[in-house]
Amino acid sequence: MDSEALGTGQEACDWLLPFEDWPSPGFTSFGLTFRPCALSEIEQVKHIVKRESARNDKVGWYDQYAKLGNTFHTRDIILGLEGDTIVAIALTYVKHCGSTVEEDLPWAGAISEDVGGVTCICITDNNPDMTNSRDSVMIRLLDACVGVLKDQNKTKMFIDAVTGGSEGFRSMGFQKWARYRDVWREV
């Protein structure tokens, strides 16, 4: 197994963040805004996720977003915008909310009542006008997700299947919850 190539044994980790360990709530936005996805934006979101997940070999991501189309759960999708351009997308979930995410992700139904989750994080790679770095966008997107989950009375956030970035996640207060090898093949 080539552990560096996607799907062939690369290490993936699940992370848990107790909100009291989050270093600085309310990061400065630097021209970014974050908000829930409107129903009218779901087609654009699906297009971006399809493109970025294909480019980055993220199996199943498009399906998770597509299932939320035409439901009131589109608001579970958090958008990061630079001006009017979507540069980041994340899917949030909580236990027993009725979202289709719980049907497909086994840990979504298994997390405790005080934990909310974030999955299928997508940061665009093809916007030459993007003035913020990917890391800066990711930190601010995570901060927005923390805010969304706190508003739902959650005290922790779970993020699944993260490849790379271990030191960065630790420095932001995340604790490694699980690690495994990401192995899959096309059929």
The pLDDT-based confidence of 26 (bands split at 50, 70, 90) is: low
For residues 11 and 163, the answer to whether their CB atoms sit within 8 Å is: yes
Domains, the chain: 9-181 (3.40.630.30)
- What pLDDT is recorded for position 147? 94
- What pLDDT is recorded for position 1? 46
Residues above pLDDT 90, as percent of the chain: 41
Mean pLDDT of 127-154: 86
Could you tell me the two tokens for 177? 């919850």
What lies within 8 Å, CB to CB, of 142 at 6+ separation is 90, 118, 157, 159, 172
For the stretch 104-125, pLDDT in tens is: 777 766 788 899 999 999 998 7
Could you tell me the two tokens for 89? 């997308």
- What pLDDT is recorded for position 166? 82
Concatenated DSSP letters of 15-45: EEEEGGG-S-SS---TTEEEEEPPGGGHHHH
Confidence (pTM): 0.86
Evaluate if residue 5 carries a pLDDT over 70.
no
Evaluate if residue 67 carries a pLDDT over 60.
yes
